[in-house]
Structure 1
């Protein structure tokens, strides 16, 4: 049955790309996230839009009625389209809307600044994830159920430098509405969507000391050369790391014990 939701999710993403991506904005993204959050918190509505015993037209009618005048027409149309599809589990619909919300943020960035802007959004997400994963106290603060969403959002702005409006929107979503995930993990999931759009891969890199932008760029180029494909860096600092660096790309892990490859990376990071 999982294949049913996969097919519906792909159909929703395709509908977005073909009909709505060209005009997408951060508001489009925010409203799609808001609908996903609404479904998470409203079991009756969630069941009404995913119940396979209801006719597709009836499910679409419920979505259209609930969202009338509350969201962009394009968002209403996307959710209505999704409600008419089949879903293996109730949560799958909200997950698919979350996915399209990330696509909308990427489309907004591309409209604003082309492929470079999308890359900058990706870097924002990975920077946030790296900073949070390296600081246990920060992780605890962002998952503290006693703290308000606004307080968590404010804390994020104080400790992580986010350079793009779309990056801030996606990180704020991960912090304020993590949907049962850890904020850093959700940001990484969003990053994976952007990586797939750009047909890139992610290198999870742990280093013993922070890297400035120049050394980070050299490392990215060196790893891309080693693996023969364009890589985005998910960078974490751990002073205890053996050999000063650890890299994971897919199932491949290299660390300080693999001296030949590490030597290549070291030279790339320190070369003038």
Structure 2
């Protein structure tokens, strides 16, 4: 995605996060179902991306088509996507596909924290590696005469029979609806989405010297409170920092190291 679609995707993600609810795995299934409807119905897709219609009108179409068929949380996410502007009509369905994967990631994290995300990533990677290593598997998964059920069963075997509900859903999904890609390449896209979600749950901490257990616990508590969820700390020691801490959570960076302060001071002095 590019341009206006990138900004619209961010809005969809914000609505998803605000409406994730108590059953994000089910929400993921609902959003995937909406993607299928959009992919199969060009008229609906064009209607929901028609710039001559108002945002309210496009949202109203969603209520008419999907109301009573999916949850209120799913309706809100779909309406957010339909109300937004997209560079091309395919981006609408792509944004909901990404939202579905993110909902699966929320589910995995809710069930088992950062390790839950790691488990789903590993299950997808097992599938990808198996497919890439077996030309016969690639052929079987793209065989037009094979049923979706047969492809999904094969995909689960190639994925090492995933134990997580989220891994199972996503692997079945890439086999059933690769949407113009190959199953393995779509699985790679799903991995990238989940890794970004994982990075938002890990605080990467750089420190000039080792922290005590008390300091680590205080840091973990403060960061978790600030972000509203339990964060996993990934701590590395870098003596070149001289003192202080550098903390990164997703795209957020907090740099209180002596090295950075000295660099800022030197920059200020040289600009005088």
The two structures share one fold, judged by TM-score above 0.5: yes
Matches within 5 A, 1:150-189: 150-161=149-160, 162-189=162-189
What is the alpha-carbon distance in structure 2 between the residues aligned to residue 179 and residue 188 of structure 1?
14
Q: Please list every run of 5 or more consecutive structure 1 residues that lacks an aligned counterpart in the other structure.
A: 201-223, 225-272
Contact 2:108 2:117 in 1 (8 A): yes
Q: Please list every run of 5 or more consecutive structure 2 residues that lacks an aligned counterpart in the other structure.
A: 201-235, 237-272
Structure with greater Cα Rg: 2
CA shift for structure 1 position 186: 0.4
Q: Which stretches of structure 1, 4 residues or more, deviate above 6 A after TM superposition?
A: none
CA shift for structure 1 position 89: 0.3
How many residues are aligned here? 201
| CA deviation profile, 1:74-132 (whole Å, cap 9, x unmatched) | 00111012111111100000000000101100111111111111110011111101100
TM-score by length of 1: 0.71
CA shift for structure 1 position 157: 2.7
SS in structure 2 opposite 1:23?
coil
Matches within 5 A, 1:253-272: none
What is the alpha-carbon distance in structure 1 between the residues aligned to residue 199 and residue 178 of structure 2?
26
Contact 1:24 1:104 in 2 (8 A): no
CA shift for structure 1 position 22: 4.8
TM-score by length of 2: 0.71
SS in structure 2 opposite 1:2?
coil
SS in structure 1 opposite 2:86?
coil
Matches within 5 A, 1:51-90: 51-90=50-89
SS in structure 1 opposite 2:28?
helix
| Larger RCO (alpha carbons 8 Å, 6+ apart) | 1
Contact 2:8 2:86 in 1 (8 A): yes
SS in structure 1 opposite 2:163?
coil
| CA deviation profile, 1:144-169 (whole Å, cap 9, x unmatched) | 11101001011223343112110010
What is the alpha-carbon distance in structure 2 between the residues aligned to residue 180 and residue 36 of structure 1?
13
What is the alpha-carbon distance in structure 2 between the residues aligned to residue 100 and residue 92 of structure 1?
12
Contact 1:24 1:107 in 2 (8 A): no
Matches within 5 A, 1:1-272: 2-17=2-17, 19-161=18-160, 162-199=162-199
